[in-house]
Structure 1
Amino acid sequence: MSHLLRTSRVLAWLFFTGLSVAIIVTSGFYLYLRPGLPAVEQLLDIKLQTPLRVYSEDSRLIAEFGEKRRAPITIEQIPTIQLQAFMAAEDARFYEHFGVDIKGLARAAIELISTGSIQSGGSTITMQVAKNYFLSRDRTFIRKFNEILLALQIERELTKDQILELYLNKIYLGNRAYGIAAAAQVYYDKPINELSLPQMAMLAGLPKAPSAFNPLANPERALIRRNWIIRRMKDLGYITEDASELATSAPLTASYNATDVEVDADYVAEMARSELVRRYGEGAYTDGYVVTLTVNSKNQQTATDALRAGLEAYDRRHGFRGPIGQVDEDTLNERPAEELVVNYPYVASLIPALVTEVSDDDLQVRVHARGLGEAIMPFETMSWARRFKTEDLRGPALEKPSDALARGDVVYVHHRQAEPENRETPTLPSVSLAQVPRVEGALISIDAQTGAIEALAGGYSFRQSKYNRATQAKRQPGSTFKPFLYLTALENGITPASVYNDAPIVFEDDELETAWRPQNSSGQFYGPTRLREALYRSRNIVSIRLLRDVGIENTLDYLRQLKIPADNMPNNLSLSLGSGQLSPMELARGFAVIANGGFDVAPYLIERIEDATGNILYEAPETVLCDEACAARNIETDAIEEPSTEVANTNGEEETPGDTENAASDLVDTEHNNEDVRYMQRLADERSVYILHSMMQDVVRLGTGRRALALGRTDIAGKTGTTNEQKDTWFGGFNHQIATTAWVGFDQPAPLGRREFGASTALPIWIDYMKVALAGMPPQTMPRPNGIVNIRINPETGKRARPGEEGVFELFREEDAPAPIAAEDESSGGSGDGEGLSRQIF
């Protein structure tokens, strides 16, 4: 008995000694590690890495930037059964323990002693929160001890629901998905509250090993893991036996779902991204900023589609350049067709396809299109594909499919709209032959009253070329420059009735090898012409004579007054023909000034910037046209600070395709960052602008812009433009509300073809966009200002019409009206201003 007592005492002493040593060692570790542990309250302030999201003004997603997909949610938004699935998989006693599961730790310790390494961590959800937010993922004893200590602190200072919410928003679940809301989108394209029980169990199985149990990468192991979780949920009493059996028998339904971008607007997305990075640095990709742009989703999608359709139409007119690749017969027989086209990229809406059979008998081609499978290409969809030779020359017309394509050719196709249903037998999809255009273009649409960018397309495909032609391309505007020259003339007392002689003119210049003999685009001359007619018929010779009368320096000064960049404008008479350089954005802004009646316009793209919690960091100020605002507030117009209107690279460096730095510049009004209102001052006499509106409306009614009559509107004005050798083609047009400019040309300037003009290339794009942008909008015309008179004139002389004489009515500023008949000097000719002789003779 005494031996047993002595043995018991020894064991007791050994136990208490071991316990004391353990307490001392543990206390030592605690005292050593405690100072380095972070404060738990930091958890509530930590910003989860959330991507930058860009939306249209009507809340449609345009783009998402950032490596991690995450959409933080609250625990109240998560179904209870989903919470139970995660607890069954990771920590069934989560709501019972104090942050540490003793049984789990004991198991991990035994594994460590027996194997020399930790096989399973024994971590609770609280310990995983500590590790995910504060600690490294190293599998070491020190890190595990830190994890335990921090878990104990977390349990003392946070509620269980707070801990579970932090865990479910932080965990990585594969395929760049962080948090269960993002995972539900990536794997099932659903919000979390719409998932089925098998889908919830699948998500709950991912934290242990996102790669090993991923239903996309390893569906077999994922299914085993999912079913184990479902059975465990049954054992824990979370679900019934029937629900368990039904869920375990359900097939896998996971698939990869990329972010559901709702608007094809890569160029404006890139402009917004570059601005956010400029403001917030690399944190723009992780801090959850939400950017709302000024673009309307419908208008923006229309702009993208209209530009692509217009460029494709031009490209088809000039012929087929042949297949983009070819597969030899042996390879075609040995390898699957889908495998042979998988490395050819999609471009915009164009799909790569392999020609597998050409049938001249029934005039069709069979192809295998990437992602679409077998399809039929009827001959009528490829009849345009005459062989390209030059921009002005094509091969003979096609008579059969084999004239254009052969078996093994790889080409691009468009997926045609599905055939009507109710057919007795299924049919193959129908496609049409296409090719990636070499020509490029841009479209920019601005709200003329506010400067808000309504839509912007910077090229055919952003993935193919990130060069934003809307803001970066500096091109000759051609005749679309003429409205600014004519406005300068109107401001200087010349009238729409002024007559200029459209006759040959020769300029000798020592700097030129030969004399300059400018011509009209038709190559003909038409004699004395009123300015109104000269504008809508785009007479070059009249514009040259007009500039000579107004003066080159006077015109350049007026351009600067209108805030049209003059640095790249020539200081000679070629200025009248648009030989300077402007970007589509700069030209669109100039047309917006004309459209709104002569007020300044500062184009801007960003309407609002919010942080991850919804706080507004920036909001574009309200735009007020200064006539009424200045009068109401007794503000002197001259004292108003002029806002920056720069929206393209103006640092003097050469811009090259692919260089997107500074492409957007500051598309927020930084000079009015903290103001609620942006006052825009008048830049031009409203009477002169009103008269110019009338003249530019005639461009549409009677002149080179007649195609725009297809819109069936009475409030449209505009101007076509085609440069020398058809290297740049334009159409700029507007009503009182919206100003839109379209440009078409090659990135490296080259002739578009002798039959190509602004009216045939750019104007159709403009029409396709504006018929949607103006749909449902009542006519918006500039109100007639005071100080304008309407006088009947002789259309041949531009003077007042005599009683009984055939005449037309013309608009004049009061001080520029023709003199009464009794006072006219009938021998003066010209416009009746005493200075018309030079206009008629030279």
Structure 2
Amino acid sequence: MNATKVFFKWLIYLLFGLFAFGTAVAFSVALYLGPQLPDIEQLRNIQLQTPLRIYTRDEKLVAEFGEKRRTPVQYEQIPQYFIQAILAAEDTNFYNHSGIDIKGLGRAVLQLAQSGSIQSGGSTITMQVARNYLLTLDQTFTRKFKEIMISLQMEKILSKEEIMELYVNKIYLGNRAYGIDAAAEVYYGKELHELSLAQLAMIAGLPKAPSRYNPIVNPRRALLRRNWIVHRMHSLGMIDEQTYEAAIREPISARYHGLKPEVQAPYVAEMVRAEVAEQLGDDIYTAGYRVYTTLDSEAQSAANVALVQGLLDYDKRHGWRGVVQRDIPAALDTEADELSREGELDLGIEPQESEGSGELVVSEDTSNWQKVLRSTPTYGDLKPVIVSSAEEKTLQVVTEDDSYIDVPWDLITWAKPHHNPYWKGPALKASSDILRRGDLIYIEPEDNEPDADELVQRRWQLSQVPNVQGAFVSMSPEDGSLLALVGGFNFYQNKFNRAYQGARQAGSIFKPIIYMAALESGMTAASIINDAPVVFNDKELESTWRPSNSSGKFYGPTRLRHALYKSRNLVSIRILRSIGINTAIRFATRFGLNPDQLPRDLSLALGSATLSPYEMAMVYATVANGGYKVNPYFIERIENSDGEVLYQAEPARVCRDCPQDADKVQIGDRVYPVAPAIADKRSVYIMQTMLKDVIQQGTGRRARALGRSDIAGKTGTTNDLKDAWFAGFNQDVVAATWVGFDQPSNIGEYGSKAALPIWVSFMQEYLSGKPERSMAQPPGLVTVRIDSETGKRARPGQKNAIFEVFRVENVPEEEVTNTSETPVEIIQSGDGPAPSVDDAPAPEALF
């Protein structure tokens, strides 16, 4: 009995000694590590690494740049099911402990003693927050002691809700997803509040090991962990039996969801990224900046459809260029094929009903086809497929998911073999004329809006990736804000931005600058210029330059208005000679063009200057707004992660009612600089009426399909038909489009056929439901009846009289002269600078 008392006495002494020793050690560790611990208060103002996000002006997501996908959420936004799931999985006693779990730490120590290695850290949610925000991930005892001490301090300073909020926003959940909101998007493509209990439990299972329990990579293991978490929730009384049963029976629906922009504008996104990086530095990818562009989401969507469809239509007009790859074997298991032929292996080939047509097809091993299709890019609605059979007037193809689709004969017949821009082969008699089994090709839906969600229930047509390129730009004439921009057929096919970076010969869309300079110099829309042959001789040139009209004909004396809407080249050259090249260049620089880009010779009249669609839209914006210089811009404002505005654009805006000397105008709560007038508004008004005639009577007649009287514009086609353009506007919107090959060569079409339909498609969508708006006629203009042949005032009762608009000081006299002769004019060296464009026969002249 005494021995027992002695034993317990010494046991108490031992335990007390161990406790004292432990206390001393803990105190010593605290004294040593205390000065090394970070300030817990900084967690209240922690800056999470979030990517750069770019939005349209109506706050629709365009793009995201940054390695870490994260969208911080507040505690109130966290679904209750997720909080319960994460507690069941990670820290059941979270709301009751003081930051550490003694049992969990003891269990971790025991596992260490048994195995000799760290099996688990016994970490609470508070400890994980301490580690993720304030410490490293090194598995050392020193870090663990720091983690415990920080956790104890955190519990004294922060509320449980604040700690939980920090936790759910920081944890890494695989696939570049940091935080639960990003995980909801990455794995399910949904908003956090839209997820089911089973989906939330799946995400709650990821913090333990994001790669091991990833539902995309390891669905079986992820399912087991999800169901264990749901079972724990049920056993802890968090959910009832019915909810539990429903959750564990829900199938895995996770799959990778890449970033889903609400508006497709990758070319603009890259423009913005480069601009912001230059202004703010490389931390833009982690600092959570939000950039709001000037893009209009509806305009951008209309531009995307218009350009892509326009290029596809052009491509079809010029015939079939061949398959992407030929004779791809369906399967690569040659040994199995041989055994099958010998009858030694039954591959189980049985007739089955095709999903696409209702016809009987043969089941086959298409595993290699699926492999090839998975590695072949998809471009928008263009879908890669492989030909399963091509016989007579039938075509059946296989998709990446092993579905069979029948392509109707009427959606194949366009594919006459391409030879050159002017020549296609004979009409098809059978699909086998151009296709055979194993060919890799593209198909596209017959229309943009499917009648059903099922792939095989849509009508698909034979297609191909265009080798022609294009660009489209739209701006607001009032302040130069970019409304839409598309820099090519597909950004992921080729990232070069042809709208913003590309410079090509402008062709006849440059002519309005020359004609406006002429109006400013005293000419009128009724001025008569002789459309007659002209030859330029220069001893420095190996040959003479004989410019001509696109028709190859000469039309004699021609009014300025008529010459513009018919795009007469020889008249344009004579106008430039009359006003002088220097005068024209000085006038062009008022629009914002770089004078170094403008050739100092008479070819300038025909648009030999190399300019981008962005620059041409800028020029036409000034014509559209009545002659005010606006500077294009595409970033409206930049905000930091707290919503503080770091940059706010202050564009010059048109103010028609402002006093002449005003330099500021208030619109709403903001003050803007006033856009300066760079031309007589009367000249601009006359030019607008001339450009409206381009559409009503001239080369832009296709635009009459819009049924509007407020639109104006100009076609353009360069030498040898290498570039096709159209630029046009009403008072609310201006747009310019270009079509051509990246390596300049003949496209076989004028601007009126290749580029104008793209512009029309955009305007039809963008202007739908909007009232007509044209420039009001300014004072100082008069309308006069003139002789249509001479441009002079008409005599009373004259039958060929027409109405023309003049500035009051330029009203013509009543006089009729005979100017019907059209002699050839020879201009010797010294009479005018020689042009730099190549000689060209009449059908290939600038138009």
TM-score by length of 2: 0.89
Equivalent residues of 2:473, 2:617 under 8 A apart? yes
Quote the residue 1:448 is aligned against.
Answer: 477
* SS at 1:749 equivalent: coil
Q: Match for 1:808: what amino acid?
A: I
Name which of 550, 558, 566 aligns with 1:529.
558
Q: Distance in 2 between matches of 1:132 and 1:503?
A: 80
Equivalent residues of 1:374, 1:429 under 8 A apart? no
* SS at 1:624 equivalent: coil
Tell me by how many angstroms 1:696 deviates. Answer: 0.9
Query: Can you list the C-alpha shifts for 1:69-118, whole angstroms capped at 9, x where unaligned?
Result: 21211111123232111111111111111101011111111122222211
Equivalent residues of 1:565, 1:582 under 8 A apart? no
Quote the residue 2:39 is aligned against.
Answer: 39
Quote the residue 2:531 is aligned against.
Answer: 502
Quote the residue 1:689 is aligned against.
Answer: 684
Q: Distance in 1 between matches of 2:456 and 2:528?
A: 66
Equivalent residues of 1:375, 1:429 under 8 A apart? no
Tell me by how many angstroms 1:630 deviates. Answer: 4.3
Equivalent residues of 2:590, 2:629 under 8 A apart? no
Equivalent residues of 2:71, 2:182 under 8 A apart? yes
Q: Match for 1:461: what amino acid?
A: N
Q: Does 2:640 correspond to 1:611?
A: yes
Name which of 799, 809, 815 aligns with 2:809.
815
Quote the residue 1:185 is aligned against.
Answer: 185
Quote the residue 1:385 is aligned against.
Answer: 415
Tell me by how many angstroms 1:9 deviates. Answer: 4.5
Query: Can you list the C-alpha shifts for 1:582-613, whole angstroms capped at 9, x where unaligned?
Result: 11111110011000000011111122222222
1:230/1:308 Cα in 2 relative to 1: closer, same or farther (>3 Å)?
Answer: same
Quote the residue 1:760 is aligned against.
Answer: 753
Quote the residue 2:844 is aligned against.
Answer: none
Quote the residue 1:648 is aligned against.
Answer: none
Structure 2 matches for 1:39-438, cutoff 5 A?
A: 39-329=39-329, 331=331, 335-336=366-367, 337-360=369-392, 363-371=393-401, 373-416=403-446, 429-438=458-467
Q: Does 2:613 correspond to 1:584?
A: yes
Tell me by how many angstroms 1:379 deviates. Answer: 1.9
Determine what percentage of the aligned residue pairs are the same residue.
48
Quote the residue 1:701 is aligned against.
Answer: 696
Q: Distance in 2 between matches of 1:379 and 1:129?
A: 63
Query: Can you list the C-alpha shifts for 1:107-150, whole angstroms capped at 9, x where unaligned?
Result: 11112222221111100000000011111222221111111111
Structure 1 residues without counterparts, runs of 5 or longer: 642-673, 831-835
Q: Match for 1:780: what amino acid?
A: R
Equivalent residues of 1:446, 1:454 under 8 A apart? yes
Name which of 716, 730, 743 aligns with 1:735.
730
Q: Match for 1:415: what amino acid?
A: P
Query: Can you list the C-alpha shifts for 1:423-467, whole angstroms capped at 9, x where unaligned?
Result: 9xx966532111111111111011101211111111000001111
1:407/1:629 Cα in 2 relative to 1: closer, same or farther (>3 Å)?
Answer: same
Tell me by how many angstroms 1:264 deviates. Answer: 1.9
Equivalent residues of 2:639, 2:647 under 8 A apart? yes
Q: Does 2:53 correspond to 1:21?
A: no
Equivalent residues of 1:552, 1:572 under 8 A apart? yes
Query: Can you list the C-alpha shifts for 1:354-411, whole angstroms capped at 9, x where unaligned?
Result: 0011121xx1110012357211112221212111222222222211111111111101
Equivalent residues of 2:511, 2:607 under 8 A apart? yes
Equivalent residues of 2:653, 2:675 under 8 A apart? yes
Q: Distance in 1 between matches of 2:817 and 2:85?
A: 99
Tell me by how many angstroms 1:829 deviates. Answer: 6.6
Q: Distance in 2 between matches of 1:372 and 1:714?
A: 51
Query: Can you list the C-alpha shifts for 1:313-358, whole angstroms capped at 9, x where unaligned?
Result: 1111222111111234574775423223221111232111100111
Query: Can you list the C-alpha shifts for 1:701-734, whole angstroms capped at 9, x where unaligned?
Result: 1110111100000011111111110011111111
Q: Distance in 2 between matches of 1:174 and 1:155?
A: 28
Q: Distance in 2 between matches of 1:12 and 1:171?
A: 44
Q: Distance in 2 between matches of 1:202 and 1:95?
A: 22
Q: Match for 2:770: what amino acid?
A: M
Tell me by how many angstroms 1:499 deviates. Answer: 0.7
Structure 2 matches for 1:733-812, cutoff 5 A?
A: 733-753=728-748, 756-806=749-799, 807-812=801-806
Name which of 510, 517, 522 aligns with 1:493.
522
Q: Distance in 1 between matches of 2:192 and 2:653?
A: 45
**Count of equivalent residues:** 787
Tell me by how many angstroms 1:804 deviates. Answer: 2.2
Name which of 594, 608, 611 aligns with 2:623.
594
* SS at 1:718 equivalent: strand
Q: Distance in 2 between matches of 1:504 and 1:539?
A: 12
Tell me by how many angstroms 1:419 deviates. Answer: 8.1
Q: Distance in 2 between matches of 1:829 and 1:447?
A: 43
Q: Match for 2:55: what amino acid?
A: Y
* SS at 1:469 equivalent: coil
Tell me by how many angstroms 1:276 deviates. Answer: 2.2
Query: Can you list the C-alpha shifts for 1:522-543, whole angstroms capped at 9, x where unaligned?
Result: 1110111111111111110111
Name which of 713, 717, 720 aligns with 1:722.
717
1:702/1:249 Cα in 2 relative to 1: closer, same or farther (>3 Å)?
Answer: closer
Q: Match for 1:748: what amino acid?
A: Q
Name which of 459, 483, 494 aligns with 1:465.
494
* SS at 1:326 equivalent: coil
Q: Does 2:509 correspond to 1:515?
A: no
Q: Distance in 1 between matches of 2:450 and 2:60?
A: 30
Q: Distance in 1 between matches of 2:467 and 2:242?
A: 62
Q: Match for 2:423: what amino acid?
A: L
CA RMSD in angstroms comes to: 2.5
Query: Can you list the C-alpha shifts for 1:521-573, whole angstroms capped at 9, x where unaligned?
Result: 11110111111111111110111111110001111111112322221211111
* SS at 1:740 equivalent: strand
Q: Does 2:706 correspond to 1:711?
A: yes
Q: Distance in 1 between matches of 2:651 and 2:734?
A: 19
Q: Distance in 1 between matches of 2:457 and 2:527?
A: 65
Tell me by how many angstroms 1:487 deviates. Answer: 0.2
Q: Does 2:503 correspond to 1:474?
A: yes
Tell me by how many angstroms 1:684 deviates. Answer: 0.6
Quote the residue 1:542 is aligned against.
Answer: 571
Q: Match for 1:351: what amino acid?
A: K
Q: Match for 2:119: what amino acid?
A: Q
- Which region of structure 1 is more displaced relative to structure 2, 517-526 or 114-123? 114-123
Equivalent residues of 1:562, 1:684 under 8 A apart? no
TM-score by length of 1: 0.90
1:422/1:52 Cα in 2 relative to 1: closer, same or farther (>3 Å)?
Answer: closer
Q: Match for 1:441: what amino acid?
A: G
1:757/1:138 Cα in 2 relative to 1: closer, same or farther (>3 Å)?
Answer: same
Query: Can you list the C-alpha shifts for 1:708-767, whole angstroms capped at 9, x where unaligned?
Result: 1000000111111111100111111111221111111111111112xx101000000000
Equivalent residues of 1:627, 1:681 under 8 A apart? no
1:421/1:626 Cα in 2 relative to 1: closer, same or farther (>3 Å)?
Answer: closer
Tell me by how many angstroms 1:675 deviates. Answer: 8.1
Q: Distance in 1 between matches of 2:809 and 2:709?
A: 29
Q: Match for 1:816: what amino acid?
A: N
